[in-house]
Chains A and B, each alone.
Chain A
Amino acid sequence: MKIIEIKNLYKIYNETEVEVKAVNGIDLNFEKGEFAAIVGPSGSGKTTLLNLLGGLDAPTSGDISVDGTSLGKLKSSKLIDFRMNNIGFVFQAYNLIPVLTAKENVEFIMHLQGKSKKERDARTKELLTAVGLEDRINSRPTKLSGGQQQRVAVARALASKPKFVLADEPTANLDSKSTENLLDIMERLNKEEGTTFIFSTHDQRVVNKARRVITIEDGKIISDEKKN
């Protein structure tokens, strides 16, 4: 089942006369349950593409539709709610609210959605256990390692059961052990919860874990390979 359809997508930045085609004509589809990596050198347009996919930025032209809803047609206030209810985000850094504990960070979006305490508690416990932080529930982010913080971020992204999770270089600031650990967790959640993961990276070990590898360069797809 197709959940994301990208058609003829362009994002052109006009920095003082010089035109930067950060996304330069991309057509791409994602199926439900994928575990896909977007790979490419720095400056190739990975972040721009993920931001467009997540509705954080508007394309210069082209269209993205999620489950039949065209993001370009949503008003900005509707778009925010759409993001809250359908898309999970993991960024390279600054994922967590420093004044909230791990548990509170994970349930934050469920709070915004008005979910009941019972539901929030159950889901938070389940996810923090899944990412191996059941004993750090009440720790604030500053008391957690970089790897642990990213695991909380993954749990937060999954809390409201989004249609897909976008992770822009989630391991960029992690050592190799934490990187492997985070990828294993993401992979397991992908299998167990059936959540679609799309993540960008330029780390070969991360690429190896992906079941689909989309390589881009200068805003264009140069290869798109699926493994078994």
Chain B
Amino acid sequence: MIWSVSWRNVWRNKMRSGVVITAVSLGVFAGVFAMAFMQGMAKQRVDSAIKTETSHIQIHTPEYVNVNDIENYFTNTEELFENIAADPSTVAVSKRVIVSSIISSAEKGGGVRLIGIEPERESEVTNIKERLIEGNYLEPLKRGLPAVIGNKLAEKLDVRLGSKLVVGLLDVNSQPIYHQFRVSGIFKTASAPYDETTVFVNYSDLTSITKMPKDAAHEMAVLLSDNELSGLMASELKQGFPNLNIMEWFDVLPELKYMTESMDVYMYIFILIILLALGFGIVNTMLMVVLERVKELGMLMAVGMNKRRVFSMIMLETVFLSLTGGVLGLVLGTGFSEFFETHGLDLSGLYKEGLEAMGYDTIVYTNILPEMIITVTLMVIMTGIIASIYPARKALKLNPAEAIRTDN
């Protein structure tokens, strides 16, 4: 009965309640959408980093982790490969040889990471193949060895498809080697720094140039079917291969994990501030309500409504008022977020250069999580409860005899 009275009381002054509900729903909408936006951006950043840079798991020798030196490779990689590929959570595995080198065109030069990959296997782990904007993916050339470079590097070296590149490096015996490659493809990822410092060549070409053993690798990368599975796989590998160093994606790029986590905290604080501001409006409205209903409240107390019930009646009304706005805002926020989750929000007109420089995509696919909806709902309910305390206490202070008195 009290629930029903409280609910109907919300609609007694439709204008006033409507204003509060609109304010709350706009606030919650803004909060939820901003959160879904930031969450989506962060998730895209993580997914793209996993897909282009880190994969889910990386395997190196412990020495290589300390010093990225050419001699810190491991062998018997095919055995390890079969082992990992047999696991059901594995999507793909690839091995890499990574050599720091100097690269130069006819015009200019610079330092890069030269990565020797097995094109077929690598294309299942990283998405460099899909990121090609020109040329092809390490297919054999008539003359020279193929190399795939980032668009930023191509700009910097002033080269195009077919251009000659000379690579200078130290082989496993620390002997300087110079070798010529030709640009066979140009890629572009979301991360400009990556595009400026990464060059892909064939695994077999690089091992033979550097005189490394036939199955050597500096790095193996594993892509899993889900981000959440990396922990389990990592611990299995640590047990099975105690001589190797096993890293998960967030060990490779720890700032990614901090970013996602701190983003969440910031967004909840943002919503908290919105709700705090709305809370003052709600307190004010409910004080007006109590003031307006002094006689009615006095009557209710006179005929037998105790303090606890009067308190719950006002508290429920406040919660219903806030929650109506909250639910409306959540529906709006979720709706918009769902829409942009599939259609994407194109920011390229706004801030393209800046976003790309920081490694973000210019089209953001918002991402709304069920726990966000639940947390925000609980926060709105808490706001209602807290906002009701002061007005409800005012109501409890009423003396029924005084309240009901009609002076005439």
Contact = CB atoms under 8 A, between A and B. Distances in A.
A98 B399 CA distance: 21
A97 B296 contact: yes
Interface in B280-300: 295-296, 298-300
Interface residues of A, number: 30
Given A56-B400, A98-B296, A99-B8, A111 B304 contact: no
Interface in A94-118: 94-95, 97-100, 104, 108-109, 111-113
A137 to B, nearest CB: 16
Contacts of A113: 304
B296 A109 contact: no
Contacts of B307: 77, 80
A83 B8 contact: no
A154 to B, nearest CB: 13
A47 B405 contact: yes
Contacts of A108: 1, 303
A84 B300 CA distance: 10
B304 A99 contact: no
Interface string B28-52: 0000000000000000000000000
B179 interface: no
Given A111-B1, A112-B305, A56 B401 contact: yes
Nearest to B298: A94
Contacts of A84: 303-305
B12 interface: yes
Contacts of B302: 54, 56, 83, 89, 91
Contacts of B175: none
Contacts of B104: none
Nearest to B406: A92
A91 B403 CA distance: 12
B272 interface: no
Contacts of B399: 56-57
Nearest to A157: B303
Contact of B303 (A83, A92, A104): A83
A42 interface: yes
Nearest to A94: B295
Interface residues of B, number: 26
Nearest to A78: B306
Contacts of B8: 99-100
Nearest to B405: A47
B5 A100 contact: yes
Interface string B306-335: 110100000000000000000000000000
A84 B296 CA distance: 16
B9 interface: yes
B16 to A, nearest CB: 15
Contact of B299 (A91, A100, A112): A91
Contacts of A100: 5, 8
Interface string B334-363: 000000000000000000000000000000
B149 interface: no
B115 interface: no
A80 B306 contact: yes
A97 B303 contact: no
Nearest to A57: B401
Contacts of A93: 295, 406
Contacts of A95: 299
A99 to B, nearest CB: 4
Interface string A50-66: 01001011000000000
B400 to A, nearest CB: 5
A50 to B, nearest CB: 10
A47 B309 CA distance: 26
Nearest to B300: A97
B5 A97 contact: yes
A184 interface: no
A99 B299 contact: no
B404 interface: yes
B295 A99 contact: no
Nearest to A42: B408
Nearest to A77: B306
B220 interface: no
B116 to A, nearest CB: 77
Contacts of A47: 405
A41 B391 CA distance: 37
A118 B88 CA distance: 63
A173 to B, nearest CB: 9
A80 B404 contact: no
B301 interface: yes
A81 B304 contact: yes
Contact of A94 (B5, B296, B301, B305): B296
Contacts of B5: 97, 99-100
Contact of A112 (B11, B304, B400, B408): B304
Given A42-B408, A100-B8, 10 more contacts: A77-B307, A80-B301, A80-B306, A89-B303, A94-B404, A97-B300, A98-B296, A104-B1, A111-B1, A112-B305
Interface of B: 1, 5, 8-9, 11-12, 295-296, 298-307, 309, 399-401, 404-406, 408
Interface of A: 42, 47, 51, 54, 56-57, 77, 80-81, 83-85, 89, 91-95, 97-100, 104, 108-109, 111-113, 156, 172
7 contacts: A80-B305, A80-B307, A81-B306, A94-B404, A97-B300, A100-B8, A104-B1
